[in-house]
Amino acid sequence: MIGRRAWLGLASGVSAAGMVGTLGTWPGVAAALAGPAPDSAFGFAPDRVPMNAANLCPMPSAIGAAVARFAAELDRDMSAGNRRRVEGFKETARAGIARQLGVDADEVAIVRNTSEANGIVVQGLELAAGDEVLLWDQNHPSNHLAWRVRARRDGFTVREFPVPAHAASIDEVVDAVTAALTPGTRVVSFTHVSNVTGFRMPAAEICAALRARAPSLFIHVDGAQTWGARAADLRAMGCDSFSGSAHKWYLGPRETGMLYVRADRQDEVAATVVSIPWGGDVTPEVTGARRYEALGQRDDAAIAALAETVAWHDALTPAAVERASSAVAERLREGVEDLGLPLVSNGHPDFRSSVVILRAGDGARRRLPELILEDAGVIAAATGGLRFSPHVYNTPAHVDRVLAALARHRDLLG
Ligand SMILES: Cc1ncc(COP(=O)(O)O)c(C=O)c1O
């Protein structure tokens, strides 16, 4: 059976901190996400199976229920005391996210999504004519076009670098990035895992090589396809800032996200929105990265439920979530290879991710997700080709349904 070895390998060494005995195989992971009601771990319809985590994940039913519960609690009692109680969960979420990512709570802002987090870095850094911003050509528009829009206003230069799609070594990739540096480069910004190819950048090696050549460089990493998908230690990665959306792989409430800015670089990144709870003076009264979330009234129920999402990840452990997500992606990749269908995504172990993209011509690309939905009851995307981004809620049976549909439509692929 396809991907069997990887799948069975999950069964070892995973503990759910008392929520369920042993995790590792679905529905074990999903069961732990749901708590005592494994059958309702996720609420998606059997013929509408999401395999599009790179875009949007379903919340575990328990997290959806937490959003609704906190919202009802606020509507029932809007007194200052009750609002403060619910808002207080933001600090719980912040502390947990920071701990999971290996950084300090004062370095993490709770924002609305990756676009906003990227936007704070794009707009907040001081840049002028003569300065250069260097971007991976696969960056998302919020980390690519956004720089160009700002550059037109402020007169700095934006350049991009490609990375060999079929790179076979980390050195090859690191060299492609460092070769693009010029004496004027002030910022390098790249996506950890590309949403258009699934290519996973060797972020720690890139950051180390860039720092060795230009110690004062500001390095931003877009973690939209990383946070919740892979266990990450941002201190070890060595970036200056990192962004993510909880509604993707982190399985959290919609319109919640995070921005990490390293403590000693925060004075270089100005806040772009100043409102409550900044304080009453020009100097922010809030500490550290909280300056980036002075956005006025927020969806406090969603943010409180984000704190519960943190607890689920703690119980599962980010490493187990990564193993479960990677195993289902591996099963899909192997099945696609067995069918002889061409992949856009680099399959090298150093560069692969849970974002698996098949080559599809422009015309077919738009039709294919509809055909896959009709045939397999699985939701894919037309980004970069025919894109599947499976996560912990996907089963071997979902993958096999996709593979059967791909075999039927193989004439449209390639
Ligand atoms: C790499 C990357 N960055 C940023 C974003 C934007 O995420 P959001 O729409 O949650 O702001 C996406 C969305 O797919 C993405 O793939």
Alpha-carbon distance values, 101 to 77, 373, 398 (Å) = 34, 35, 30
Task: Give yes or no: residues 303 and 324 share one domain.
Answer: no
pLDDT band (50, 70, 90) for residue 113: very high
Q: Is the CB of 114 inside a 6 Å radius of any atom of ligand 1?
A: yes
Distance 115 CA to ligand 1 centre (A): 6
Task: Give the other-Cβ count within 10 Å of 36's Cβ.
Answer: 9
The per-residue pLDDT for 35 is: 58
pLDDT band (50, 70, 90) for residue 20: very low
Could you report the per-residue pLDDT of 127-159, keeping only the tens digit for each?
Answer: 999 999 999 999 999 999 999 999 999 999 999
Residues β-bridged to residue 110: 258
Tell me what the mean pLDDT of segment 9-23 comes to. 32
The burial class, CB within 10 Å (0-12 / 13-18 / 19+), for 19 is middle
Per-residue burial over 181-205, b if 16 or more Cβ lie within 10 Å, else e, is beeebbbbbbbbbbbbbbbbbbbbb
The per-residue pLDDT for 2 is: 33
Could you report the per-residue pLDDT of 184-218, keeping only the tens digit for each?
Answer: 999 999 999 999 999 999 999 999 999 999 999 99
Residue 17 above 70 pLDDT? Answer: no
For residue 175, is it left (φ>0), alpha (ψ between -120 and 50) or beta? Answer: alpha
Residues β-bridged to residue 109: 259
Task: Give yes or no: residues 303 and 374 share one domain.
Answer: no
Give the CA diameter of the chain: 64
The per-residue pLDDT for 363 is: 83
Distance 45 CA to ligand 1 centre (A): 25
Q: Is the CB of 191 inside a 6 Å radius of any atom of ligand 1?
A: yes
Q: Is the CB of 222 inside a 6 Å radius of any atom of ligand 1?
A: yes
Is residue 208, in this structure, part of any structural domain at all? Answer: yes
Cis peptide before 369 (omega within 30 of 0): no
The per-residue pLDDT for 31 is: 59
* CATH classification of the domain holding 107: 3.40.640.10
The burial class, CB within 10 Å (0-12 / 13-18 / 19+), for 387 is buried
The SS3 of residue 256 is coil
Residue 96 above 60 pLDDT? Answer: yes
Residue 8 above 70 pLDDT? Answer: no
Provide the domain limits for residue 342. Answer: 4-60+316-412
Higher pLDDT, 328 or 4: 328
Least confident of 9-23, 88-102, 357-371: 9-23
Report strand pairing: 108-111 vs 132-136: unpaired
Tell me what the mean pLDDT of segment 67-94 comes to. 98
Q: Is the CB of 189 inside a 6 Å radius of any atom of ligand 1?
A: no
pLDDT band (50, 70, 90) for residue 320: confident
Could you report the per-residue pLDDT of 333-355, keeping only the tens digit for each?
Answer: 999 999 999 999 999 999 999 99
The per-residue pLDDT for 4 is: 38
Query: Which residue has tokens 């200052």?
Result: 80
Query: Which residue has tokens 């900044």?
Result: 278
Task: Give the other-Cβ count within 10 Å of 240's Cβ.
Answer: 25
Write down the H helix ranges in 156-291.
170-178, 203-213, 234-237
Q: Is the CB of 115 inside a 6 Å radius of any atom of ligand 1?
A: yes
**In sequence order, what are the residues at sequence separation of 6 or more whose Cβ sits closer than 8 angstroms to the Cβ of residue 131?**
156, 157, 184, 186, 187
Least confident of 225-229, 356-360, 361-365, 391-395: 361-365
**In sequence order, what are the residues at sequence separation of 6 or more whose Cβ sits closer than 8 angstroms to the Cβ of residue 92?**
307, 310
Q: Which of 55, 110, 112, 114 is the best mutation target for the ligand 1 pocket, counting ligand atoms within 8 Å of the beta carbon and taking the most? A: 114
Query: CA–CA separation, 111 vs 169, rounded Å?
Result: 35
Higher pLDDT, 407 or 17: 407
Task: Give yes or no: residues 288 and 333 share one domain.
Answer: no
Phi first, then psi, for residue 137 (nearest 5°) are -70, -10
Query: CA–CA separation, 34 vs 42, rounded Å?
Result: 7
Q: Which of 200, 245, 354 is the best mutation target for the ligand 1 pocket, counting ligand atoms within 8 Å of the beta carbon and taking the most? A: 245
Task: Give yes or no: residues 334 and 285 share one domain.
Answer: no
- Please state the atom number of ligand 1 nearest to the C-alpha of residue 115: 11
Distance 254 CA to ligand 1 centre (A): 13
**Token reading at 22:** 């042993």
Residue 10 above 50 pLDDT? Answer: no
Domain boundary among 271, 289, 313: 313
pTM, rounded to two decimals: 0.93
For residue 127, is it left (φ>0), alpha (ψ between -120 and 50) or beta? Answer: beta
DSSP structure string for 268-335: GB--S---TTS-SSSS-SS-GGGGGG--SS--HHHHHHHHHHHHHHHHH-HHHHHHHHHHHHHHHHHH
The SS3 of residue 354 is coil
Task: Give yes or no: residues 178 and 269 share one domain.
Answer: yes
Query: CA–CA separation, 218 vs 267, rounded Å?
Result: 12
The chain-wide mean pLDDT, for the chain, equals 91
- Please state the atom number of ligand 1 nearest to the C-alpha of residue 194: 1
Is residue 68, in this structure, part of any structural domain at all? Answer: no
Query: CA–CA separation, 161 vs 173, rounded Å?
Result: 11
* CATH classification of the domain holding 340: 3.90.1150.10
Tell me what the mean pLDDT of segment 7-12 comes to. 36
Instruction: Give me the number of domains the chain comprises.
Output: 2
Q: Is the CB of 245 inside a 6 Å radius of any atom of ligand 1?
A: yes
Residue 3 above 90 pLDDT? Answer: no
The SS3 of residue 221 is strand
Task: Give yes or no: residues 214 and 124 share one domain.
Answer: yes
Task: Give yes or no: residues 309 and 324 share one domain.
Answer: no
Give the strands of the sheet with 108-111, arranged side by side.
Answer: 108-111, 257-261, 241-245, 218-222, 185-191, 132-136, 157-161
Tell me what the mean pLDDT of segment 9-19 comes to. 33
Could you report the per-residue pLDDT of 253-296, keeping only the tens digit for each?
Answer: 999 999 999 999 999 999 999 999 999 999 999 999 999 999 99
Task: Give yes or no: residues 358 and 308 share one domain.
Answer: no
Least confident of 77-86, 162-171, 247-256, 359-368: 359-368
Task: Give yes or no: residues 183 and 220 share one domain.
Answer: yes
Q: Is the CB of 113 inside a 6 Å radius of any atom of ligand 1?
A: yes
Q: Is the CB of 326 inside a 6 Å radius of any atom of ligand 1?
A: no
For residue 167, is it left (φ>0), alpha (ψ between -120 and 50) or beta? Answer: beta
Task: Give yes or no: residues 201 and 344 share one domain.
Answer: no
Closest CA to 327 of 269, 404, 394, 407: 394
- Please state the atom number of ligand 1 nearest to the C-alpha of residue 116: 11
Q: Which of 57, 140, 256 is the best mutation target for the ligand 1 pocket, counting ligand atoms within 8 Å of the beta carbon and taking the most? A: 140
User: What percentage of the chain's residues is helix, strand, coil (to nearest 5)?
Assistant: 45, 15, 40
Q: Is the CB of 52 inside a 6 Å radius of any atom of ligand 1?
A: no
Residue 90 above 60 pLDDT? Answer: yes
Is residue 167, in this structure, part of any structural domain at all? Answer: yes
Residue 12 above 70 pLDDT? Answer: no
Portion of the chain with pLDDT greater than 70, in percent? 90
Q: Is the distance from CB of 142 to CB of 114 less than 8 angstroms? A: yes
Task: Give yes or no: residues 178 and 105 share one domain.
Answer: yes
Distance 269 CA to ligand 1 centre (A): 20
Query: CA–CA separation, 30 vs 287, rounded Å?
Result: 36
Could you report the per-residue pLDDT of 371-384, keeping only the tens digit for each?
Answer: 999 999 999 999 99
Distance 276 CA to ligand 1 centre (A): 26
Portion of the chain with pLDDT greater than 90, in percent? 83
The per-residue pLDDT for 62 is: 87
Task: Give yes or no: residues 214 and 349 share one domain.
Answer: no
